[in-house]
Amino acid sequence: MSNKNFNKKAMAIGQVFIFIVAAITFALIMIFGYKAITGFLKSGEDVAFVQFKTSLETSIRKIYTEYGSVRVSKFTLPSIYEQVCFVNLDAAYDPELCKFDQAACSVWEDAKGYDSVDENVFMKPTAPVKIKVHQIGIDPDEGTDFLCVPVRQGFFNLVLEGKGDRTELSSVPSPLN
């Protein structure tokens, strides 16, 4: 009878050991799975940002020589961004920009024109790489030499007009309700 008792105890110890191994395996799968999923999401955001940067640079460069051409472009970027500011660095510094973007304000204040800096598009929060598009101007109807556009759900629209030597930017007028 004691032999049967011993077998039951050995079986219980074996089950505990299997349970511990299963719990450790499950924990490792959860940890590494979380890291992998987080890595995939980060890679996806990086790809989306590079696509946005390329699309923006191409759109502005493509239209500047087409004098009088006007296009409304829709841009997509990762949803972590709240705002995009475009600054005409050849214009006189305007401290009003500081209300919208401190980094852009600082760069513009120190700039000696378009050629002296390597960034004229500013993101909020700050972009992982600097963005400098071809020469831009801001539509006089905007009232400033910078244009800050809110990003909603990862999208924003921009009016691009070719001026021959630069691309003039303006916000898309809101439809009347």
Span 48-103, pLDDT tens digits: 888 889 988 999 999 988 888 999 999 999 888 999 999 998 888 888 888 888 88
Give domain status of residue 153, yes or no: yes
Domain that holds residue 125: 43-170
Residue 105 counted as domain residue: yes
Tell me if 34 is assigned to some domain. no
Provide the pLDDT confidence category of residue 2 given band limits of 50, 70 and 90: low
Find residue 160's DSSP bridge partners.
71, 169
Q: Does position 128 have pLDDT exceeding 50, yes or no?
A: yes
Measured CA to CA in angstroms, residue 156 lies from 82, 85, 143 at distances of 10, 12, 20
149 in a structural domain: yes
β-bridge pairing 155-162 and 121-124: unpaired
Position with higher pLDDT, 57 vs 47: 57
The reply to whether 135 falls in a domain is yes
Is position 50 within any domain?
Answer: yes
141-165 per-position pLDDT tens digit: 888 889 999 999 889 999 999 988 8
Per-residue model confidence (pLDDT) at position 177: 41
User: What tokens were used for 134?
Assistant: 């071809």
Residue 30 has pLDDT above 60, yes or no: yes
Does any domain span residue 19? no
pLDDT, residue 4, reads 59
Q: Give the chain's domain count.
A: 1
Place of tokens 């705002």: 83
CA-based nearest residue to 143, from 83, 82, 96, 89? 96
Residue 18 within any structural domain of the chain: no
Query: Cα separation of 160 and 139, whole Å?
Result: 10
Tell me how far the alpha carbon of residue 23 is from its chain's centroid.
Answer: 39
The CA distance from 7 to 111, in Å, is 83
Max distance between CA atoms of the chain, in angstroms, equals 101
pTM attached to this predicted model: 0.74
The tokens for 151 are 């990003």
Least confident of 3-12, 92-101, 111-120: 3-12
Contact by Cβ (8 Å): 104, 85: yes
